[in-house]
């Protein structure tokens, strides 16, 4: 009979990942590496372009740069470890490494949830309160909202990750996932984890369900305002900017809800892995494409930047 024990800093975990499908590991390595490079290049492109072009020094692109930086950090917190595990036979991660990874995954995921709400408020102010937009979205207030997104992520993650690592693991080392995620770690415990599952669902409701409701409320108000517009050009611009953000929010929140808004004991580990693969690999790579394709502001900024470079 196993005795209850907490893991120590000298211990390690084995991330099983996709080892049940060894014939897929090489294919997954190539596909994930491509998506990871697209994520890095696309999001860096948005950050650099928003910084260099003065026409993009607006609240929308300030928050978009923050989102791009978040996506780079979020994917980097788990994807390099996954690529290393897919490439070689070693699939271990130290206890300290697992703690750090879990902390930053929770931090960045929570910060992104809050930031997406902030971005929806920015679009609401731009469409529904255009005469007061400059006052409502003052640069100092925008910086405060961005800082609040990051602070909420760091503080929430500190509480939640500590609750997770207090659970006795009873000597188990096999994590049936490709990174250290809360539901996968809860399955390692041989004690009752209902309290932890309840905390997980409450925190998920606060930082996933409530933000989603706020985003939908903002877009409900935007839709009402759009219906009263007479200008076809204005309609196209609103649908272009707001539609992109709504698509990004949907791609992030829907898979996250599938994982975090139900008890880990009711989740299929294999299904959870592929859902997590979507919101950690695919979604961050699509965000730059969604925001830049058919975006006249970005196309104009690229043309101005290229013209400036050629003029040197």
CATH number of the domain that residue 211 is part of: 1.20.1070.10
- Mean pLDDT is lowest, of 4-13, 54-63, 187-196, 213-222, for 4-13
In a domain, 145, yes or no: yes
Please say whether the dihedral angle defined by the alpha carbons of residues 74, 77, 78 and 80, taken in this order, is positive or negative: positive
Establish if 274 belongs to a structural domain.
yes
pLDDT digits (tens, 9 = 90+) for 260-303: 877 666 667 778 888 888 989 999 998 888 877 667 777 787 77
Q: Rounded to an integer, what distance in angstroms lies between the CA atom of residue 289 and that of residue 294?
A: 9
Q: Is residue 1 in a domain?
A: no
Domain extent, residue 140, equals 13-294
Q: CB count, 10 Å around CB of 151? A: 12
Is residue 88 a part of any domain in this protein?
yes
Average pLDDT in the chain = 84
Comparing C-alpha atoms, which of 101, 100, 109, 73 is closest to residue 207?
Answer: 109
Q: Is residue 255 in a domain?
A: yes
Q: Is residue 3 part of a domain?
A: no
Q: What is the pLDDT of residues 180-192, one digit of tens each?
A: 888 888 888 877 7
In a domain, 245, yes or no: yes
Residue 29's pLDDT band, with cuts at 50, 70 and 90, is very high
Q: Establish if 303 belongs to a structural domain.
A: no
The total domain count for the chain is: 1
Name the helix (H) or strand (E) containing 13: strand 12-15
- Phi-psi map region of 71: left, alpha, beta (phi>0 left; psi -120 to 50 alpha): alpha
- Altogether, the residues listed in the chain come to a count of 312
What mean pLDDT do residues 166-171 have?
74
As given in the structure block, the two tokens for residue 122 are: 């920015």
Rounded to whole angstroms, how far apart are CA atoms 130 and 29?
47
């Amino acid at each position: 009979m196993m005795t209850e024990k907490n893991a120590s800093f000298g211990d390690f975990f084995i991330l099983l990942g996709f080892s049940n499908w060894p014939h897929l590991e090489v294919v997954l390595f190539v596909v994930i590496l491509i998506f990871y490079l697209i994520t890095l290049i696309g999001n860096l492109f948005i950050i650099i372009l928003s910084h260099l072009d003065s026409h993009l020094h607006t609240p929308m692109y300030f928050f978009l740069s923050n989102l791009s930086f978040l996506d780079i950090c979020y994917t980097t917190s788990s994807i390099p470890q996954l690529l290393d595990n897919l490439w070689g036979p070693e699939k271990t991660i130290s206890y300290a490494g697992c703690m750090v990874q879990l902390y930053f995954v929770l931090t960045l995921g929570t910060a992104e949830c809050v930031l997406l709400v902030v971005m929806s408020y920015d679009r609401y102010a731009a469409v529904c309160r255009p005469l007061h937009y400059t006052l409502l979205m003052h640069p100092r207030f925008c910086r405060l909202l961005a800082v609040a997104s990051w602070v909420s992520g760091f503080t929430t993650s500190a509480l939640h990750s500590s609750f997770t690592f207090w659970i006795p693991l009873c000597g188990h080392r096999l994590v049936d996932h490709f990174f250290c995620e809360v539901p996968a770690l809860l399955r390692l415990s041989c004690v009752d984890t209902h309290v932890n599952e309840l905390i997980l669902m409450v925190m998920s409701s606060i930082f996933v369900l409530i933000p989603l409701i706020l985003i939908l409320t903002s877009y409900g108000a935007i839709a009402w305002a759009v219906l009263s517009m007479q200008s076809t050009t204005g309609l196209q611009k609103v649908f272009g900017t707001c539609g992109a953000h709504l698509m990004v929010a949907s791609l992030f929140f829907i898979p996250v809800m599938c994982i975090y808004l139900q008890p880990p004991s009711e989740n299929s580990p294999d299904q959870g892995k592929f859902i997590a693969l979507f919101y950690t690999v695919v979604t961050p790579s699509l965000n730059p494409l969604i925001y830049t394709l058919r975006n006249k502001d970005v196309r104009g900024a690229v043309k101005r930047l290229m013209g400036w470079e050629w003029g040197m």
